Structure 1
Amino acid sequence: WVVERTISWLHNFRRLRIRFERLAFIHEAFLTIACCIICWRQLKSHSVNAS
């Protein structure tokens, strides 16, 4: 379930939904940025709820 949810979150990023980049390292860079944004949003929501 965790993996399916994470893939669902990644598909919210338009650039990752369809692979526009031909080079793998560029696609991987966008994937890394998307993962960072997802983690930041989760941490931000948990810190607000903890306060």
Structure 2
Amino acid sequence: SANISGCPAPHRFAEIPEEIKAAVDYIVDPRLESQSTGKPSQIIKIGMGGEVEIIRP
């Protein structure tokens, strides 16, 4: 996901706020966007011990 809490999720790379792009460790090549479903991504958290928490299915 690339939206600020409470704001609508962007459907295209160009709609992602610059503040989010500047704060992440990695951005998937936007050229892959042509294969996008337009659905928000799943968000998972991987802990230091390898535990997985699904934040948004």
TM over 0.5: no
Please state which structure has a larger fraction of its residues in strand.
2
Please state which structure has a larger fraction of its residues in helix.
1
TM-score (norm 2): 0.24
TM-score (norm 1): 0.24
